[in-house]
Amino acid sequence: MPSTSALFPRNFCKKYPVAVRGDACWIIDQDGRRYLDASGQAAVVSIGHGVAEIGRAMAEQSSQLGFAHTTQFHSEPAEKLARRLLTLAPPNFRHGGRVYFTSGGSEATETAIKLARQFHLESGQSERYRVISRRQSYHGSTLGAMTVSGNVARRAPHQPLLAEWGHIAPCFCYHCPFGKTFPECGIACADDLSHFLDKNDASSVAAFIFEPVVGATLGAAVPPDGYAQRIAEICRSRGILLIADEIMSGMGRTGKPFAIQHWNVEPDIILVGKGIASGYAPLGAVLVAARIVDAFERGSGIFQHGFTYQAHPVATAAGNAVFDYIELHNLFDHVQPAAEILRTELSVLQSHPHVGEIRGLGLLLGIEFVKNKSTRQPFPKKDTIADRIRQATLDENVLTYPTQGCVDGEHGDHILLAPPFTISPSECRLIVSALRSALQKVFPS
Ligand SMILES: Cc1ncc(COP(=O)(O)O)c(C=O)c1O
C-alpha cells in the first residue's frame, strides 16, 4: 500500500511510528506506545528525553537572538560552550585551543579534513593532503567523511564518488585482522600505520583519523592498552596530525569526557557530535589543539571553510543547557556505575550459544552474535540476524541499534546499546529481559 508520508524515508520497506514525546529513557509514539531507548537512539541521547530545562533555554535564546552569521558576529552561548569543552579536553587544548561548531558529526569530520590540509599549507608543507583512516570505521555521510570511512556497506553505492587516500587495518581483537591474540600480537594493527606509510608516499599524508572506540561499524570495539599511544607516537614522528573522532564515544559516554583520555593520548583534533546536545539540537564540534590554532594565527589567519549555521546561537544554547544538566546531576559520574549494572545484567546472556562477545566501554556497549562460538564464525548475511534481534527486542518495546558487517564488511551481526546516562537498574533489567526473549525468538532450540 502506498504510504501517506511526505518524508523521504531511510528505508522504503519500513513503516515508521510517529514519535511524539520523550520521557527520560523512553520515547512515546502517537498511539501511546512506550519504547525503552536502550541505544540512546544512535548513541545520541545522554541526559534522557523530555528534559524541560533544555527546551526553555533554547526558547529563551531564540527569543533573544535566533541567528547571527559568523562572518559578522560571535555569540555568547557559542563562546561559553567552547570554553567549557576546552576545559574537558586533554592539556594540549586547554591553553590556546579553539572550538569550531558545526551542525552535526559529518560536518565536523569535513571541517577536520580541511583543517588538517590547511594546517600543512600554513606550515609550508603543501604536498600533504591525504587523510588516512582504518577499514571498518565510520566518520560520516558527506563525501569527505565517507572517503575516510571504511564502512563497506555505507560506501558501496557511492564508491565512484570517493577519493582513495588509503585505509589501514582495524583494531579489533575479537576478529583480529592478523589472526593474532593480544598481548603476543605486539599490537600489530598499530604498526600497520607505519608499514602503510613506508609503502604509500608518507610525504603526502596530512592526518590520521580514528574512532578511539569503534561505534556503529564494529559494535563498541575497544582497543587494547598501548594501541592509541602507539598510533599517536607514529603520527608525531611522521609529522602527521592525529584526529580522534569522538562523535559517538565522546561527551562522557565511555565514562570520561573523551574516550581517548582512557589512554592519556593528546590528539591534535577531537571531533564531537551526538551527546554534545544530547539530541536536543543538531550540533557538532571540532576541538582544535593550540599548536594548530597557532599555525593559522601566524599564517594566513583565514580558514577557508564555513557553514551558514556554524556556531548557531540556539544550538549552542542547547549544548550549554545540556552541560548545565550534566553538571547539576553529576551525570558523567553516573556512567561507570550504570555501565557496571548493565554489564552485570547482560552477563547472563554470555552463555547463550550464539552470543559471541559482549564488549564496550562505559555506556557504549556491543553484543555480537555468532553462528559458532568456538570459531567465532558469523552467520550468513542473508539470515539478517542483527535486524531480527532488533525487531524481536522492539516487540518487547526496547530499542537497539543493529548493524551487519563487523567481521569483513559483509558478515557479522551485532547490536549497539548506548542508553541515556540516567538508565535505572530496573530499566537495565528490562533491556536484558527483552534481549533474552529476542534470543529465544531468533534462535528457537
Ligand atoms: C564515529 C562517528 N563519526 C561520525 C558520525 C557522523 O555524524 P552525523 O551522523 O551527526 O553526521 C557518526 C554517526 O553515527 C559516528 O558514529
B/e letters for 242-251, b = 16+ CB within 10 Å, e = fewer, are bbbbbbbbbb
Res 195: pLDDT:
98
Residue 131 DSSP SS3: strand
B/e letters for 354-364, b = 16+ CB within 10 Å, e = fewer, are bbbbbbbbbbb
Res 445: pLDDT:
80
pTM summary value: 0.98
Residues with CB under 6 A from ligand 1: 42, 104-106, 109, 138-141, 211, 215-216, 245, 247-248, 273
> Residues 335-366: pLDDT tens digits?
999 999 999 999 999 999 999 999 999 999 99
Taking the C-alpha atoms of residue 148 and residue 130, their distance in angstroms, rounded to an integer, is 9
Taking the C-alpha atoms of residue 376 and residue 379, their distance in angstroms, rounded to an integer, is 10
Residue nearest to atom 13 of ligand 1 (CA): 140
Which cell numbers in the block locate residue 430? 528490562
Distance 272 CA to ligand 1 centre (A): 9
Grid-cell match 527546551, residue found: 55
Distance 339 CA to ligand 1 centre (A): 22
Distances (CA, A) of 401 to 59, 127, 414: 31, 41, 8
Res 321: pLDDT:
99
The gap from C-alpha 439 to its chain's centroid, in whole angstroms, comes to: 27
Res 378: pLDDT:
98
Those residues of the chain that have pLDDT short of 70 are: 1-2
